[in-house]
């Protein structure tokens, strides 16, 4: 594979990441009321939220969003244990998740704004 092909592929991955980032954060925020409790639907909502955020963690740093990746990791940390044990969040976890999502939203907005100012970076 030539360097140009790699650069083109990376640019496509980055664009896909950028185009879905805000929606993933907002979908997770909107799901907060469904994430709590012992009902089966809460565990499923936690799993969905975990996978959305895990996608940000997994690719953010690679495509030039290191701070967003770190902030998403903090969100993922809140969701990890409930996801692994198949349960909804307890009140303290919902509070921590809300705070971590606010931080993620702010960090992502800052990095997206920097990208818009310097699209070649």
Let me know how long the chain is. Answer: 121
Taking a C-beta distance cutoff of 8 angstroms, is the pair 105, 25 a contact? yes
User: What are the residues whose beta carbons fall under 8 Å from the beta carbon of 14, sequence distance 6 or more?
Assistant: 63, 64
> Can you tell me the distance from the alpha carbon of 117 to that of 121, in angstroms, rounded to the nearest whole number?
9
Question: Right CATH number for 3-117 from 2.30.30.60, 1.20.120.160, 1.10.287.1040, 3.40.50.2300?
Answer: 1.20.120.160
pLDDT in tens, 74-97: 999 999 999 999 999 999 999 999
Helix, strand or coil, per DSSP, at residue 89: strand
Q: How confident is the model at residue 69 (pLDDT cuts 50, 70, 90)?
A: very high
> Can you tell me the distance from the alpha carbon of 113 to that of 107, in angstroms, rounded to the nearest whole number?
10
Q: What is the pTM of this model?
A: 0.89
Provide, rounded to the nearest whole percent, the portion of the chain with pLDDT above 90: 74
């Amino acid at each position: 594979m030539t360097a140009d092909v790699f650069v083109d592929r990376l640019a496509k991955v980055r664009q896909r990441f950028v185009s879905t980032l805000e929606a993933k954060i907002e979908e997770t925020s909107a799901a907060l009321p469904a994430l709590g409790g012992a009902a089966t639907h809460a565990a499923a909502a936690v799993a969905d939220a975990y996978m959305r955020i895990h996608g940000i963690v997994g690719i953010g740093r690679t495509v030039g969003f290191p701070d967003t990746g770190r902030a998403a990791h903090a969100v993922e940390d809140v969701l990890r244990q409930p996801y692994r044990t198949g349960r909804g969040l307890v009140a303290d976890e919902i509070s921590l998740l809300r705070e971590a999502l606010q931080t993620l939203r702010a960090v992502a907005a800052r990095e997206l704004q920097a990208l818009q100012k310097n699209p070649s970076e």
